[in-house]
Amino acid sequence: MNDNALRTIEAQIREQICAYCESNNVPGFVVGVYHAREQVIVAHGTANVATGAPMLEDTGFLFGSVTKVLTTTLVLQQVERGLLNLDTPVVKYLPEFTLAEPGAAEKILVRHLISHTNGIDADLFFPDGKGRDALKIYVERLAGSCGALFEPGEQLSYSNGGMIVAGRLLEVVTGTPFPDLLERNVFAPVGMTTSSTSAERAILRSTAVGHFPDPETMAAKPTDMFMLPDTWGPAGGTPIGTVSDLLAFGRTHLTGGVSPSGTRVLSAESTSLMQQVSHDMATPNVPPMGLGWVRYPFGDTTVLAMSGASPGGVSILCVVPEHDLVFTAYGNTGSAIMLHDQILQRLLREHLAVQIPTLIDEFEPDVDLAPYVGTYRSNQLRIDVTVVDGQLEERMSYEPADESQRQIFTAFAGGMTSAPPQRYVPIRPGLFAPAGYPLDAFDGYLRLLLVSYHDVRRGRARFRNGGGRLTRRV
């Protein structure tokens, strides 16, 4: 792709962003594309409707779960230095790590923490805590609050808890607080000069805030909570930076661990290991997992990706090694994830000439729905599945463990504690699509909207997987 082609991309993306944001009440959006030694950044709209501050090319935003790839990079650095071994039990380094289910923590290896195969049932566990002891507090409170969803390595379930435990593990073996380690070992060598982990530093420069739709007018309202507690730092609660910073990090993973400035951040072997398949659920709605990276197959092309929700905002980072491309973006409402998907597919189809096959060809109407009916639970989340008019109907609700958890979750979710009932139609046994969506909606990133059921025993599924997250039948 030459420079003229990149400028064409810039113009097309700018037009696409303007149209989407206007029709979907997205106040602001910023996107960056790097390809073949050239990059463009496009910003649009407003960073904060309360102040009217514009979204600029260098406006900062919360990375959200994109942080998980940064945390994984830190873990692999310590493996290279001999302080960690991926196949050693976590408790060897972190003896205080326990779960509510006796013996469960002892089976979890370091590898399981960063491959989302650990089974820690803590996806919505929000203990409050600030400062240098935040991750220590998190691990201490896991013991009496969270059990295990499955045996380590048995299943794949997107794991905030695993990444936070990995963050505490890093603190113990390095003797350095996680925020300091992130700044010293990733931000500095990569050249992420505008990144930080504190609201106090972010306020000194242009920083976007998230927004939620007003229930009555649907106009965007600023979030009441800027970031999650410090206890969620390694999973994505606190890191803040810019599109330029994430492009630099993505480029580091394009070039075998060497940053744009030429600094070695990670070995070529570790960088490659992160990109290799570590677990595959063999279902279209759960792409194969590497270490830190999710491996999205688009035909013969693999997109390494991670998206990140923050209170009222959503980010994404995609790296396409086969085509020397990095794409990253942030929108300050949750619905911006649709625009992320549209831009990614445009880049793949129109500018890289990637053939994206249809993921789902047709629906299968005569699927026995009985094995999937029941109640499924994970930490503070309940999903009731019934059959209505020949379709599955799911009712999802959040059941807080205490008042502190309720306050944090409801602020993170914009005041919602339950979702409207959702109908699903069968694609094949064990795989369902939300009713009303065209089949081609699932060809891209939004394949995560599909729901699958797993491990059917005696006519009853044991697990439900939605958005990469498992719940277990109760």
Phi, psi of 422 (to 5 degrees): -125, 130
| d(C-alpha 146, C-alpha 155), whole Å | 18
Neighbouring C-beta atoms of residue 182, cutoff 10 Å: 27
Q: Is 378 a catalytic residue?
A: no
Going along 293-370, which residue ranges are E strands? Answer: 294-298, 301-310, 313-320, 325-331
Phi, psi of 211 (to 5 degrees): -140, 155
Token duo for residue 324 = 């020397």
What angle, rounded to 10 degrees, do the helices at 3-24 and 336-346 form? 150
* DSSP SS3 for 402: coil
* DSSP SS3 for 446: helix
* DSSP SS3 for 269: helix
DSSP state of 178: H
Marked catalytic residue, from 65, 145, 157, 315: 65
Phi, psi of 198 (to 5 degrees): -140, 140
Instruction: Check if the beta carbon of residue 103 is closer than 8 Å to that of residue 202.
Output: no
DSSP state of 55: P
- 25, 177, 222 from 334: Cα distances, Å: 11, 31, 12
Instruction: Check if the beta carbon of residue 319 is closer than 8 Å to that of residue 34.
Output: no
Sign of CA dihedral 283, 329, 223, 44: negative
| d(C-alpha 326, C-alpha 33), whole Å | 6
Angle at 447 between CA 446 and CA 450, to 5 degrees: 115
The one-letter amino acid code at 167 reads: G
Going along 220-293, which residue ranges are E strands? Answer: 220-222, 240-241
- 329-362: burial string, b at 16+ Cβ within 10 Å, e else: bbbbbbbbbbbbbbbbbbbbeebbebeeeebbee
Instruction: Check if the beta carbon of residue 149 is closer than 8 Å to that of residue 105.
Output: no
Neighbouring C-beta atoms of residue 469, cutoff 10 Å: 20
DSSP state of 166: H
Token duo for residue 365 = 């109407």
**Active site members:** 65
